[in-house]
Structure 1
Protein backbone atom coordinates (compact mmCIF):
# COMPACT_ATOMS: atom_id res chain seq x y z
CA UNK A 1 0.00 0.00 0.00
CA UNK A 2 1.36 3.44 -0.92
CA UNK A 3 1.73 6.24 1.60
CA UNK A 4 -1.08 8.20 -0.10
CA UNK A 5 -3.55 5.32 0.18
CA UNK A 6 -2.47 4.70 3.76
CA UNK A 7 -3.36 8.28 4.65
CA UNK A 8 -6.63 8.69 2.72
CA UNK A 9 -8.09 5.39 3.96
CA UNK A 10 -7.19 6.03 7.57
CA UNK A 11 -10.28 6.81 9.70
CA UNK A 12 -8.27 9.17 11.91
CA UNK A 13 -7.33 11.23 8.86
CA UNK A 14 -10.99 11.32 7.82
CA UNK A 15 -12.05 12.44 11.31
CA UNK A 16 -9.33 15.09 11.38
CA UNK A 17 -10.32 16.38 7.94
CA UNK A 18 -13.99 16.64 8.96
CA UNK A 19 -13.17 18.53 12.16
CA UNK A 20 -10.68 20.77 10.31
CA UNK A 21 -13.23 21.77 7.67
CA UNK A 22 -15.89 22.28 10.34
CA UNK A 23 -13.53 24.47 12.34
CA UNK A 24 -12.65 26.67 9.37
CA UNK A 25 -16.34 27.17 8.58
CA UNK A 26 -17.23 27.90 12.22
CA UNK A 27 -14.22 30.16 12.58
CA UNK A 28 -15.10 32.13 9.48
CA UNK A 29 -18.68 32.54 10.73
CA UNK A 30 -17.46 33.36 14.28
CA UNK A 31 -19.67 30.67 15.82
CA UNK A 32 -18.62 30.44 19.45
CA UNK A 33 -17.94 28.31 21.42
CA UNK A 34 -17.97 25.64 18.70
CA UNK A 35 -15.09 27.15 16.75
CA UNK A 36 -12.95 26.87 19.89
CA UNK A 37 -14.13 23.34 20.63
CA UNK A 38 -13.29 22.11 17.14
CA UNK A 39 -9.91 23.85 17.33
CA UNK A 40 -8.96 22.01 20.51
CA UNK A 41 -10.07 18.68 18.96
CA UNK A 42 -7.58 18.87 16.07
CA UNK A 43 -4.28 17.90 17.67
CA UNK A 44 -5.74 15.12 19.91
CA UNK A 45 -7.19 13.40 16.82
CA UNK A 46 -3.72 13.32 15.29
CA UNK A 47 -2.23 12.13 18.59
CA UNK A 48 -4.74 9.28 18.64
CA UNK A 49 -3.79 8.42 15.06
CA UNK A 50 -0.11 8.28 16.06
CA UNK A 51 -0.79 5.99 19.03
CA UNK A 52 -3.16 3.68 17.16
CA UNK A 53 -0.62 3.47 14.34
CA UNK A 54 2.08 2.48 16.88
CA UNK A 55 3.95 5.70 16.23
CA UNK A 56 6.39 7.48 18.52
CA UNK A 57 4.93 8.41 21.89
CA UNK A 58 6.99 11.60 21.93
CA UNK A 59 5.14 12.75 18.80
CA UNK A 60 1.82 12.00 20.48
CA UNK A 61 3.04 14.02 23.46
CA UNK A 62 4.01 16.89 21.15
CA UNK A 63 0.51 16.95 19.67
CA UNK A 64 -1.17 16.84 23.09
CA UNK A 65 1.01 19.78 24.17
CA UNK A 66 -0.22 21.65 21.08
CA UNK A 67 -3.80 20.87 22.11
CA UNK A 68 -3.16 22.45 25.51
CA UNK A 69 -1.66 25.43 23.70
CA UNK A 70 -4.83 25.77 21.65
CA UNK A 71 -6.92 25.53 24.82
CA UNK A 72 -5.03 28.24 26.68
CA UNK A 73 -5.09 30.56 23.68
CA UNK A 74 -8.89 30.52 23.80
CA UNK A 75 -8.89 32.49 27.06
CA UNK A 76 -7.83 36.04 27.75
CA UNK A 77 -4.78 36.41 29.94
CA UNK A 78 -3.27 32.97 29.28
CA UNK A 79 -1.38 33.72 26.05
CA UNK A 80 2.04 33.09 27.63
CA UNK A 81 0.81 29.79 29.13
CA UNK A 82 -0.39 28.74 25.69
CA UNK A 83 2.95 29.72 24.19
CA UNK A 84 4.73 27.63 26.83
CA UNK A 85 2.55 24.61 25.98
CA UNK A 86 3.39 24.97 22.30
CA UNK A 87 7.08 25.34 23.18
CA UNK A 88 6.94 22.00 25.00
CA UNK A 89 5.33 20.46 21.93
CA UNK A 90 8.05 21.83 19.68
CA UNK A 91 10.77 20.55 21.98
CA UNK A 92 9.22 17.09 21.67
CA UNK A 93 9.25 17.37 17.88
CA UNK A 94 12.85 18.55 17.91
CA UNK A 95 13.90 15.71 20.21
CA UNK A 96 12.33 13.20 17.82
CA UNK A 97 13.92 14.68 14.70
CA UNK A 98 17.35 14.79 16.35
CA UNK A 99 16.95 11.13 17.33
CA UNK A 100 16.45 10.38 13.62
CA UNK A 101 19.65 12.10 12.52
CA UNK A 102 18.41 15.63 11.80
CA UNK A 103 21.58 17.26 13.15
CA UNK A 104 23.72 15.44 10.59
CA UNK A 105 21.43 16.70 7.85
CA UNK A 106 21.70 20.27 9.11
CA UNK A 107 25.50 20.03 9.22
CA UNK A 108 25.52 18.96 5.58
CA UNK A 109 23.20 21.81 4.57
CA UNK A 110 23.40 24.62 7.16
CA UNK A 111 21.88 27.22 4.82
CA UNK A 112 18.33 26.20 5.71
CA UNK A 113 18.95 26.84 9.40
CA UNK A 114 20.65 30.15 8.61
CA UNK A 115 17.75 31.25 6.39
CA UNK A 116 15.15 30.39 9.03
CA UNK A 117 17.22 32.14 11.69
CA UNK A 118 17.53 35.29 9.57
CA UNK A 119 13.76 35.31 8.95
CA UNK A 120 13.01 34.87 12.67
CA UNK A 121 15.44 37.64 13.66
CA UNK A 122 13.85 39.98 11.11
CA UNK A 123 10.35 39.14 12.37
CA UNK A 124 11.23 39.65 16.04
CA UNK A 125 13.03 42.87 15.17
CA UNK A 126 10.01 44.12 13.21
CA UNK A 127 7.60 43.42 16.07
CA UNK A 128 9.88 44.20 19.01
CA UNK A 129 8.50 47.61 19.91
CA UNK A 130 4.96 46.26 20.18
CA UNK A 131 5.67 43.11 22.18
CA UNK A 132 5.57 44.59 25.67
CA UNK A 133 5.76 41.80 28.26
CA UNK A 134 6.36 39.28 25.47
CA UNK A 135 9.82 40.69 24.68
CA UNK A 136 11.51 37.98 26.74
CA UNK A 137 9.50 34.84 25.79
CA UNK A 138 9.05 35.62 22.08
CA UNK A 139 12.75 35.38 21.05
CA UNK A 140 13.06 32.10 22.98
CA UNK A 141 9.93 30.71 21.35
CA UNK A 142 11.08 31.93 17.93
CA UNK A 143 14.39 30.10 18.37
CA UNK A 144 12.51 26.90 19.23
CA UNK A 145 10.28 27.32 16.16
CA UNK A 146 13.35 27.76 13.96
CA UNK A 147 14.80 24.53 15.35
CA UNK A 148 11.54 22.68 14.62
CA UNK A 149 11.45 24.01 11.06
CA UNK A 150 15.10 23.16 10.36
CA UNK A 151 15.16 19.72 11.98
CA UNK A 152 11.83 18.69 10.41
CA UNK A 153 13.15 19.54 6.93
CA UNK A 154 16.32 17.56 7.66
CA UNK A 155 14.03 14.62 8.52
CA UNK A 156 11.94 14.71 5.33
CA UNK A 157 10.27 17.20 2.99
CA UNK A 158 6.70 16.54 4.12
CA UNK A 159 7.48 17.15 7.77
CA UNK A 160 9.70 20.06 6.71
CA UNK A 161 6.78 21.75 4.98
CA UNK A 162 4.75 21.24 8.16
CA UNK A 163 7.50 22.89 10.19
CA UNK A 164 7.62 25.83 7.80
CA UNK A 165 3.84 26.31 7.97
CA UNK A 166 3.94 26.21 11.76
CA UNK A 167 6.47 29.04 11.66
CA UNK A 168 4.32 30.94 9.17
CA UNK A 169 1.15 30.55 11.28
CA UNK A 170 2.85 31.72 14.47
CA UNK A 171 4.45 34.62 12.60
CA UNK A 172 0.98 35.94 11.73
CA UNK A 173 -0.07 35.60 15.38
CA UNK A 174 3.04 37.50 16.47
CA UNK A 175 2.29 40.31 14.04
CA UNK A 176 -1.14 40.63 15.63
CA UNK A 177 0.29 40.68 19.15
CA UNK A 178 2.51 43.58 18.10
CA UNK A 179 -0.34 45.42 16.32
CA UNK A 180 1.35 45.04 12.93
CA UNK A 181 -0.19 44.28 9.54
CA UNK A 182 -1.76 40.83 9.11
CA UNK A 183 -3.26 39.17 6.01
CA UNK A 184 -7.06 39.06 5.85
CA UNK A 185 -9.05 37.09 6.86
CA UNK A 186 -6.46 36.70 9.59
CA UNK A 187 -8.01 33.84 11.56
CA UNK A 188 -8.43 31.75 8.41
CA UNK A 189 -4.81 32.30 7.38
CA UNK A 190 -3.63 31.35 10.86
CA UNK A 191 -5.79 28.26 11.24
CA UNK A 192 -5.47 26.94 7.69
CA UNK A 193 -1.67 27.06 7.88
CA UNK A 194 -1.70 25.63 11.43
CA UNK A 195 -4.00 22.75 10.46
CA UNK A 196 -1.80 21.89 7.48
CA UNK A 197 1.29 22.17 9.69
CA UNK A 198 -0.04 19.63 12.19
CA UNK A 199 -1.18 17.27 9.46
CA UNK A 200 2.03 17.41 7.43
CA UNK A 201 4.21 16.91 10.48
CA UNK A 202 2.15 13.89 11.52
CA UNK A 203 1.92 12.37 8.05
CA UNK A 204 5.57 13.02 7.31
CA UNK A 205 6.62 11.28 10.49
CA UNK A 206 4.23 8.31 10.29
CA UNK A 207 5.00 7.58 6.64
CA UNK A 208 8.77 7.92 7.11
CA UNK A 209 8.73 5.63 10.13
CA UNK A 210 6.70 3.02 8.28
CA UNK A 211 9.12 3.10 5.37
CA UNK A 212 12.06 2.93 7.78
CA UNK A 213 10.56 -0.18 9.31
CA UNK A 214 9.70 -1.60 5.90
CA UNK A 215 5.93 -1.81 6.53
CA UNK A 216 4.84 0.15 3.44
CA UNK A 217 4.99 -1.43 0.03
CA UNK A 218 3.74 -0.19 -3.29
Structure 2
Protein backbone atom coordinates (compact mmCIF):
# COMPACT_ATOMS: atom_id res chain seq x y z
CA UNK A 1 0.00 0.00 0.00
CA UNK A 2 1.25 3.47 -0.82
CA UNK A 3 1.31 6.18 1.85
CA UNK A 4 -1.03 8.32 -0.25
CA UNK A 5 -3.89 5.85 0.30
CA UNK A 6 -4.32 6.27 4.08
CA UNK A 7 -3.59 9.98 3.71
CA UNK A 8 -6.46 10.36 1.25
CA UNK A 9 -8.67 8.28 3.53
CA UNK A 10 -7.72 10.57 6.43
CA UNK A 11 -8.73 13.65 4.45
CA UNK A 12 -12.06 12.08 3.44
CA UNK A 13 -12.93 10.86 6.94
CA UNK A 14 -11.93 14.24 8.39
CA UNK A 15 -14.25 16.02 5.95
CA UNK A 16 -17.11 13.67 6.86
CA UNK A 17 -16.42 14.12 10.56
CA UNK A 18 -16.37 17.91 10.35
CA UNK A 19 -19.57 17.92 8.29
CA UNK A 20 -21.21 15.66 10.86
CA UNK A 21 -20.22 18.05 13.65
CA UNK A 22 -21.53 21.04 11.71
CA UNK A 23 -24.84 19.32 10.93
CA UNK A 24 -25.28 17.65 14.35
CA UNK A 25 -25.07 14.15 12.94
CA UNK A 26 -23.98 12.79 16.29
CA UNK A 27 -23.77 9.12 15.33
CA UNK A 28 -21.61 9.85 12.28
CA UNK A 29 -19.36 12.14 14.33
CA UNK A 30 -19.01 9.48 17.04
CA UNK A 31 -18.13 6.74 14.55
CA UNK A 32 -15.67 8.76 12.47
CA UNK A 33 -13.67 10.35 15.29
CA UNK A 34 -11.85 7.15 16.40
CA UNK A 35 -10.82 6.46 12.77
CA UNK A 36 -8.80 9.65 12.32
CA UNK A 37 -5.58 8.94 14.22
CA UNK A 38 -5.27 5.27 13.15
CA UNK A 39 -5.36 6.45 9.52
CA UNK A 40 -2.68 9.03 10.29
CA UNK A 41 -0.61 6.35 12.05
CA UNK A 42 -0.80 4.06 9.00
CA UNK A 43 0.24 6.96 6.79
CA UNK A 44 3.20 7.76 9.06
CA UNK A 45 4.31 4.12 9.12
CA UNK A 46 4.17 3.78 5.34
CA UNK A 47 5.76 7.17 4.65
CA UNK A 48 8.66 6.47 7.04
CA UNK A 49 9.63 3.09 5.56
CA UNK A 50 12.15 1.49 5.84
CA UNK A 51 12.58 3.28 9.17
CA UNK A 52 10.60 2.11 12.20
CA UNK A 53 8.86 5.26 13.41
CA UNK A 54 8.12 4.02 16.92
CA UNK A 55 7.96 7.35 18.77
CA UNK A 56 6.01 9.01 16.00
CA UNK A 57 3.45 6.21 15.96
CA UNK A 58 3.27 6.31 19.75
CA UNK A 59 2.53 10.05 19.69
CA UNK A 60 -0.28 9.60 17.17
CA UNK A 61 -1.78 6.57 18.91
CA UNK A 62 -1.74 8.39 22.25
CA UNK A 63 -3.87 10.97 20.46
CA UNK A 64 -6.19 8.17 19.34
CA UNK A 65 -6.54 6.96 22.95
CA UNK A 66 -7.29 10.52 24.02
CA UNK A 67 -9.94 10.84 21.31
CA UNK A 68 -11.65 7.67 22.52
CA UNK A 69 -11.62 8.69 26.18
CA UNK A 70 -12.99 12.14 25.41
CA UNK A 71 -16.02 10.58 23.72
CA UNK A 72 -17.32 9.77 27.22
CA UNK A 73 -18.92 12.52 29.29
CA UNK A 74 -17.28 11.85 32.66
CA UNK A 75 -14.51 13.52 34.62
CA UNK A 76 -12.54 10.28 34.91
CA UNK A 77 -12.66 9.84 31.14
CA UNK A 78 -11.59 13.45 30.66
CA UNK A 79 -8.58 12.96 32.94
CA UNK A 80 -7.67 9.71 31.17
CA UNK A 81 -7.90 11.50 27.83
CA UNK A 82 -5.73 14.32 29.09
CA UNK A 83 -3.19 11.76 30.33
CA UNK A 84 -3.11 10.05 26.94
CA UNK A 85 -2.55 13.35 25.15
CA UNK A 86 0.13 14.29 27.70
CA UNK A 87 1.98 11.05 26.88
CA UNK A 88 1.70 11.92 23.19
CA UNK A 89 3.26 15.32 23.80
CA UNK A 90 6.15 13.70 25.66
CA UNK A 91 6.70 11.47 22.62
CA UNK A 92 6.77 14.49 20.32
CA UNK A 93 9.17 16.33 22.60
CA UNK A 94 11.60 13.41 22.72
CA UNK A 95 11.30 13.00 18.96
CA UNK A 96 11.98 16.71 18.47
CA UNK A 97 14.72 16.85 21.11
CA UNK A 98 17.25 18.47 18.81
CA UNK A 99 14.86 21.42 18.42
CA UNK A 100 15.72 22.63 21.93
CA UNK A 101 19.22 23.44 20.73
CA UNK A 102 18.16 25.97 18.12
CA UNK A 103 18.02 29.74 18.43
CA UNK A 104 14.45 29.76 17.14
CA UNK A 105 13.27 27.88 20.21
CA UNK A 106 14.89 30.41 22.53
CA UNK A 107 13.03 33.17 20.69
CA UNK A 108 9.71 31.31 20.64
CA UNK A 109 9.86 30.30 24.30
CA UNK A 110 9.04 33.78 25.60
CA UNK A 111 5.80 34.43 23.66
CA UNK A 112 4.60 30.87 24.25
CA UNK A 113 5.30 31.24 27.99
CA UNK A 114 3.23 34.42 28.01
CA UNK A 115 0.41 32.71 26.09
CA UNK A 116 0.49 29.76 28.49
CA UNK A 117 0.35 32.01 31.54
CA UNK A 118 -2.40 34.19 30.07
CA UNK A 119 -4.61 31.26 29.03
CA UNK A 120 -4.13 29.53 32.37
CA UNK A 121 -5.02 32.73 34.24
CA UNK A 122 -8.22 33.03 32.19
CA UNK A 123 -9.16 29.40 32.80
CA UNK A 124 -8.17 29.24 36.47
CA UNK A 125 -11.39 30.54 38.10
CA UNK A 126 -13.60 28.15 36.15
CA UNK A 127 -11.75 24.82 36.23
CA UNK A 128 -11.98 24.05 39.95
CA UNK A 129 -10.44 20.69 40.91
CA UNK A 130 -8.92 20.35 37.45
CA UNK A 131 -6.51 23.25 38.02
CA UNK A 132 -3.39 21.18 38.66
CA UNK A 133 -3.85 18.63 35.84
CA UNK A 134 -4.83 21.38 33.39
CA UNK A 135 -1.82 23.48 34.39
CA UNK A 136 0.54 20.53 33.94
CA UNK A 137 -1.00 19.41 30.66
CA UNK A 138 -1.09 22.91 29.20
CA UNK A 139 2.60 23.32 30.08
CA UNK A 140 3.39 20.12 28.14
CA UNK A 141 1.25 21.40 25.27
CA UNK A 142 3.13 24.71 25.16
CA UNK A 143 6.46 22.88 25.38
CA UNK A 144 5.57 20.84 22.30
CA UNK A 145 4.70 24.02 20.43
CA UNK A 146 8.02 25.59 21.46
CA UNK A 147 10.26 22.66 20.55
CA UNK A 148 8.44 22.16 17.23
CA UNK A 149 9.58 25.65 16.21
CA UNK A 150 13.13 24.32 16.19
CA UNK A 151 12.33 21.54 13.72
CA UNK A 152 10.68 23.15 10.68
CA UNK A 153 7.73 25.28 9.64
CA UNK A 154 5.30 22.37 9.34
CA UNK A 155 5.98 21.17 12.86
CA UNK A 156 5.85 24.73 14.22
CA UNK A 157 2.40 25.34 12.72
CA UNK A 158 1.25 21.96 14.00
CA UNK A 159 2.34 22.77 17.54
CA UNK A 160 0.54 26.13 17.43
CA UNK A 161 -2.67 24.56 16.12
CA UNK A 162 -2.59 21.90 18.83
CA UNK A 163 -2.42 24.67 21.42
CA UNK A 164 -5.38 26.44 19.82
CA UNK A 165 -7.46 23.25 19.64
CA UNK A 166 -6.95 22.28 23.27
CA UNK A 167 -7.46 25.84 24.46
CA UNK A 168 -10.89 25.80 22.80
CA UNK A 169 -11.70 22.58 24.67
CA UNK A 170 -10.57 24.11 27.96
CA UNK A 171 -12.71 27.21 27.50
CA UNK A 172 -15.75 24.95 27.46
CA UNK A 173 -14.76 23.40 30.78
CA UNK A 174 -14.23 26.86 32.28
CA UNK A 175 -17.54 28.16 30.86
CA UNK A 176 -15.80 30.91 28.91
CA UNK A 177 -17.23 32.39 25.69
CA UNK A 178 -16.51 30.31 22.59
CA UNK A 179 -16.98 30.93 18.85
CA UNK A 180 -19.95 29.51 16.92
CA UNK A 181 -19.33 26.00 15.60
CA UNK A 182 -16.61 25.48 18.19
CA UNK A 183 -16.64 21.67 17.86
CA UNK A 184 -15.79 21.99 14.17
CA UNK A 185 -12.92 24.38 14.97
CA UNK A 186 -11.61 22.08 17.70
CA UNK A 187 -11.44 19.05 15.44
CA UNK A 188 -10.24 20.92 12.34
CA UNK A 189 -7.31 22.45 14.21
CA UNK A 190 -6.60 19.17 16.02
CA UNK A 191 -6.41 16.98 12.92
CA UNK A 192 -4.38 19.64 11.10
CA UNK A 193 -2.03 19.86 14.09
CA UNK A 194 -1.40 16.12 14.24
CA UNK A 195 -0.94 15.89 10.48
CA UNK A 196 1.54 18.77 10.42
CA UNK A 197 3.51 17.43 13.38
CA UNK A 198 3.77 14.04 11.67
CA UNK A 199 4.71 15.43 8.27
CA UNK A 200 7.10 17.87 9.93
CA UNK A 201 8.86 14.94 11.59
CA UNK A 202 8.98 13.03 8.30
CA UNK A 203 10.31 16.11 6.50
CA UNK A 204 13.02 16.54 9.13
CA UNK A 205 14.03 12.92 8.71
CA UNK A 206 14.23 13.31 4.95
CA UNK A 207 16.36 16.45 5.28
CA UNK A 208 18.66 14.71 7.74
CA UNK A 209 19.07 11.78 5.34
CA UNK A 210 19.80 14.15 2.45
CA UNK A 211 22.45 16.03 4.41
CA UNK A 212 23.91 12.77 5.63
CA UNK A 213 25.16 12.19 9.14
CA UNK A 214 25.28 14.63 12.00
CA UNK A 215 21.57 14.37 12.75
CA UNK A 216 20.49 13.00 16.13
CA UNK A 217 19.28 9.42 15.88
CA UNK A 218 15.75 10.24 17.04
CA UNK A 219 15.03 12.35 13.99
CA UNK A 220 17.31 10.65 11.52
CA UNK A 221 15.23 7.49 11.82
CA UNK A 222 11.97 9.09 13.08
CA UNK A 223 12.05 6.84 16.14
**Same fold by TM-score, threshold 0.5 exceeded?**
yes
1:66 matches 2:60: no
1:155 matches 2:154: no
Q: Deviations over 1:66-103 (max 9, x none)?
A: 000000000011111101100001110001000xx111
Whole-angstrom distance in 2 between the partners of 1:159 and 1:102: 10
| TM superposition shift of 1:109 | 4.6
Whole-angstrom distance in 1 between the partners of 2:83 and 2:112: 21
1:90 matches 2:89: yes
Question: What residue number does 1:75 align with?
Answer: 72
DSSP-derived class of the 2:72 partner? coil
Question: What residue number does 1:13 align with?
Answer: 7
1:175 matches 2:193: no
Whole-angstrom distance in 1 between the partners of 2:117 and 2:111: 10
Q: Deviations over 1:18-37 (max 9, x none)?
A: 11101001111121222022
- Contact 2:99 2:105 (C-alpha < 8 Å) held by counterparts: no
- Contact 2:157 2:196 (C-alpha < 8 Å) held by counterparts: yes
Match of 2:18 among 24, 42, 52: 24
TM-score (norm 2): 0.87
DSSP-derived class of the 2:210 partner? coil
| TM superposition shift of 1:110 | 1.4
| TM superposition shift of 1:156 | 0.7
> How many pairs does the alignment contain?
205
1:194 matches 2:190: yes
**RMSD between aligned residues:** 1.7
Once the two structures are superposed, the pairs formed by residues 16-55 of structure 1 within 5 Å of their partners are 16-53=10-47, 54=49
| TM superposition shift of 1:213 | 1.6
Whole-angstrom distance in 1 between the partners of 2:153 and 2:37: 21
Whole-angstrom distance in 1 between the partners of 2:163 and 2:122: 16
1:113 matches 2:109: yes
Runs of 5+ in structure 2 lacking a partner? 212-223
Stretches of 4+ aligned residues off by more than 6 angstroms? none
Q: Deviations over 1:155-198 (max 9, x none)?
A: 11101100000000001111111000111111111111111111
